[in-house]
Structure 1
Amino acid sequence: MAEGPPGNGPNAPGGGPAGTSPGRRPGLLGELGSPRGHRGRRAARRVIEAAEQGLEQVLGGPARTRVVVLLACVLALNSADTATVGAAAAPLRHALRISNTDIGVLVAVTALVGAVASVPFGVLVDRVHRIRLLTVAIVLWGVATFASATVSTFGQLLLVRLGLGAVTAVSGPAVASLVGDWFAPGERGKVYGYVLAGELLGAGVGFVVTGDVAALSWRAAFVVLAIPALLLAWAVGHLPEPARGGASHLQPGQRRLLGRRDLGEAGRRRLGATRRPPFGEEVLVPSAGPTDAQQEAARLGIEPDPRLVLRDDPRRMRLGQTVRYVLSVRTNVVIIISSACAYFFLAGVETFGLEFARGQYGVSQVVADLLMLVVGAAAVAGVLVGGRVGDALVRRHRINGRVLVATVCAFGTVVLFIPAVMTRSAVTALPYVAAAGFLLTAQNPPMDAARLDIMPSLLWGRAEGIRSFLRTGGQALAPVVFGGLSDLLGGGREGLQVTFGIMLLPLAVSGLILLRALRTYPKDVATAAASYRSGNEPTVVLGPVPVPPPGAAGPPGWLGGER
């Protein structure tokens, strides 16, 4: 949905797509075509418009809804692909003559390649046009998914999954950086909850929709998954690139997305250029300021770690320097390990959860699908609630509130999963599994928001790339370990039951190490705030503009000063 020039938008007199009344906003789907003629189509349009309006009221306006929905769809694509492999496990085993271990390998290679590729992509996210990078990745994503439907051997499918893993690595760093630049610090936990809900909904689509399709044809399941990827690439490609550092923060009720180009000369005069770059480089202006947690650290008088306060431009750090810095922030290391443990278990559930439910509780495919839908709904509720609670605790002057939410949820997940794994009754297991799914996902949004509090904004892409490399590397082993261990234990229902019980140990470790983050997080927040005050962090890149060499007259609004 490309943004038009002023005067041509839907808010201008007579504006809007052809066929709409003056001043009427077309909505998210309006640009894709207006249903006309048939009564049923008009009714469908009214339902869609009502759903859009309800969604906009929840998310805070048209512009915010557009961003949240599209970023959620990006994550949904990846989780849907992983879940599709798990849902199609039985047809794949029969068609390609493979085992549970081979199914695990298919999922693992995608994640392992993605882990390796996430670091260079994290560097690119901090340095290039993120929207273009993400759009190209999604197109390649769709092509690779479609190619998965054309293979005839396990080796060919494995090769396609290797290529798929490389392009999926863009999503983590890009989404983290874009959320930070489009949304204010005090609501990032809530927004992350909305975005991560897309990841869970994508897994639900993989389990239920493509799973049912896979029961008829596993090839058709991959085709069904590839088509939305190309549509998503078109929609993402029409987003404007936001300015780095906060100048493009979306306000509630905002109708139009403002990218770095939209700020223009008026934005430079309003914000005030503070540094004089060499001729032809990008103009830098002040950003939105420290996060809510960083402001709370200042109020409490928490001293930063002087060894980690950045005094040089983060964009000029080499990869080795960046890796050392990111892994020197103790809270970040704890969060990486904790999220790796949680995602390790979640990856195993996504791959073998449907098969476990059928065998453990003795239910049919349809009933198993319904059980997974209930658990999925609870998991979606978890990400929506977890981020909000973390944000609220910080507003109430609990500086480590986001980490506290994640810690409580991690311990609660382990306690609730134990009876769910032990029982043979679906009715008995359902409330335990639903509550455990709620807590398992509720810890992710506050942890993701906490990572933005302890990292300078110009390192967000690289920090997420490094985290994705370490977390996804461990996560990639989950399908192989789950599948291999279940085969080693005899396979079938008993093998999967014992395997799921053993794999609760990483979840327990996740909660234990988060206890340490409760102590280290405030100091690391203060350190990031000190980096902000040093004058090297709070910058927004507005785009290339001609800057005269020293001694020549500067552009209007130029405040001078040497770099």
Structure 2
Amino acid sequence: MEALFGGPARTRVILLFAGVLAMGSADLGMVGALARELEDAFRIGQARLGLLATVSYGVGALATIPMGALADQVPRVRLLIYTVILWSVALLAGGAAQSYLWLLLSRLAMGGAIAAAGPLLASLTGDLIPATERAKVYGWILTGEMIGAGIGLIVGANIGAAASWRYGFWLLGLLGLGLTAALYRWLPEPARGGASQLPPGAHEIPRATPVRMRGNPLATPQGTGGADVLRQAWRSLGRAFAYILHIRTIRILIVASSVGYSFFAGLRTFSVVFVQSWYGVSTRGLTGLVVAVGAGALAGTVLGGRLADRLQRNGHPNARILVPAVAYTATALLFAPGLASGSVAFALPFLILGAATLGAASPPLDAARLDIVTPWLWGRAESARTILSLTGQALGPVCFGLVADALAGRGGTSRTASLRDTFLIMLVPLLANGLIMLSARHTYLTDKEAAHRAGARAQCGRTLRTPTSGRGIEDA
């Protein structure tokens, strides 16, 4: 791993960050794998099952606003550790649920933890990994999502078949506590602004005192009361979001990421039920199918980041925009014949390739967002992205469930056929997503250069100004 990832220090960073992403993805995969058991235990339909995923993402979308501000202001590693502890406790509590309401409330706590992970990991990755290699490294980190989803589906399906569904949640909770100890032991707080970047072969992560930035909304101004502090915090956060969302490329990338994750969330929630009923696959066959499709997703995630970085180095400056655009379009075109076919042998190659192209879109997208925002706003920029991304993920499962229930209510349409039709319908926005991404190639380079200039002005103590309005942003 050290030879593959670029040294001991990078290996620890990649494995720890991938582990954090795997926690959230495994949890949602577990819900999908245990769908039948949860429906039987609490006597719920597909819409209420989708709501279990929706509430986590919905609460996360709300909580990510303050979490993004905290990521730019306080020690991030400590906050990440608190997040994983909350995550683990929520999973343990969910496994002990005696009613649907109890389980639903445990998902609310999960949402708060999900909110912190995105801004914190984006900010830490930007400070630890050089810009020229971020898409490649992001590819390795994002494999955690794919591996976690696969673990959740495989372990959940086998636990559901052999024992109580509760053991699945308890197992993830215990793994989360182990991840907490690993973060505390092996991840020191890096310096902001790139002073702690890890060159290939680095053995240790440099320890640094976190930068205390101007415009800190958590600092209490002299001679003001609590109400003044709160107003100042919201004004500061509002100005930062106004600056971030003024960047046209950011808006396009946020929309693209939201649509992609929305489809992935729905797919992850209902895939086990669909595969077993539509293709007639047993639990053992499901394990093999998940491994095969998951391997395709892993390969695509790794190769997508490497391809974008290589194309960029070879004279294609828009590579981090073009690779995701092509990937989303290809995903919709590849999944369609696989989902429509009732033969698992015919569908499997299409599903593997579709999973690979879906995975290939995320690393270049994540690296591109860091490219076009000054480092002093990485946390809040990621929170702006996370709000819409989590909203999309929140709507994804419940929309899948509602459409499936509506189609199943029509005369002559079985529950299995309704799920197939739902998946095919949801491919349409994914196809449009690829076309939307192409429009970002006209603004990406301009916004990237503007971010570099803004970062230089911020380090010199100046204010950020939006290109057209001229309004000062004091949250540099």
TM-score (norm 1): 0.76
Distance 2:128 2:169 in 1: 33
Map 1:286-305 onto structure 2 (within 5 A): none
1:349-403 CA distance string (max 9 Å, x none): 1000111111221221211221111101100111100011111111112111110
Q: Matched residues in 2 for 1:477 and 1:316: separation?
A: 27
Name the residue aligned to 2:37: 91
Distance 2:109 2:234 in 1: 30
Query: For the residues of structure 2 that align with 1:535 and 1:352, how far apart are their CA atoms?
Result: 46
Does 1:227 find its partner at 2:174?
A: yes
Q: What does residue 230 of structure 2 align with?
A: none
Matches within 5 A, 1:144-183: 144-183=90-129
Structure 2, unmatched stretches of 5+, are: 220-232, 409-413, 463-476
1:131 to 66, 77, 82: 77
- Within a 5 Å distance, the mapping from 1:44-59 to structure 2 comes to 55-59=1-5
2:376 is equivalent to residue 458 of structure 1: yes
Q: Is the 8 A contact 1:456 1:537 kept in 2?
A: no
**Other-structure match for 1:254:** 202
Call closer, same or farther: CA 1:364–1:399 in 2, change over 3 Å: same
Residue 396 of structure 2 is aligned to residue 478 of structure 1: yes
SS in 1 for 2:72: helix
Runs of at least 4 residues off by over 4 Å: none
CA contact (8 A) 1:379 1:437 kept: yes
Matched to 1:346, the amino acid is: F
1:443 counterpart residue number:
361
- Measured against aligned partners, the alpha-carbon deviations of 1:149-183 in whole angstroms (never above 9, x if no partner) come to 11111011111111111122110001000100111
SS at match of 1:169: helix
In 1, distance between residues paired with 2:358 and 2:251?
Answer: 20
**CA-to-partner distance for each residue in 1:76-132, whole Å, 9 max, x for gaps?**
000000110010000011111111111100000001101111111000010001010
Residue number in structure 1 paired with 2:239: 321
**SS across alignment from 1:503:** helix
How far does residue 532 in structure 1 lie from its aligned partner after superposition? 2.8
Q: Does 1:342 align with 2:288?
A: no
Equivalences for residues 510-525 of structure 1 within 5 A: 510-525=433-448
1:237 counterpart = 2:160: no
Of residues 150, 162, 178, the one that matches 1:204 is: 150
Q: What's the RMSD between the two structures over aligned residues?
A: 2.1
Q: 494, 510, 527: which one pairs with 2:450?
A: 527
Match of 2:446, as an amino acid? K
Aligned twin of 1:303: none
CA–CA separation in structure 1 for the residues paired with 2:275 and 2:358:
18
- Contact 1:197–1:383, Cα closer than 8 Å, also in 2: yes
Q: Cα–Cα, structure 1 residues 538 and 359, in superposed 2: closer, same or farther, change >3 Å?
A: farther
Matches for 1:381-420 after TM superposition, within 5 Å = 381-420=299-338
Structure-2 residue corresponding to 1:501: 424
Q: Secondary structure at the match of 1:170?
A: helix
**Secondary structure of 1:483 counterpart:** helix
Q: Give the letter aligned to residue 350 of structure 2.
A: Y
Conserved? CA contact 2:127–2:193, under 8 Å: yes
What do residues 30-69 of structure 1 show as CA deviations (whole Å, max 9, x unaligned)?
xxxxxxxxxxxxxxxxxxxxxxxxx111011111101110
Q: CA deviation at 1:276?
A: 12
The aligned residue for residue 60 of structure 1 is 6
Counterpart for residue 187 of structure 1: 133
CA radius of gyration, larger in = 1
Whether the 8 Å contact between 2:375 and 2:455 is mirrored in structure 1 is: no
Q: Give the residue type in structure 2 aligned to 1:218.
A: W
Instruction: Out of 160-169 and 120-129, give the one that drifted further.
Output: 160-169
How many residue pairs get matched?
439
**For residue 371 of structure 1, what is the amino acid of its counterpart?**
L
CA distance in 2, matches of 1:152, 1:533: 55
Which residue type is aligned with residue 87 of structure 1? Answer: A
1: CA distance, partners of 2:382 / 2:397: 23
1:46 is matched with which residue? none
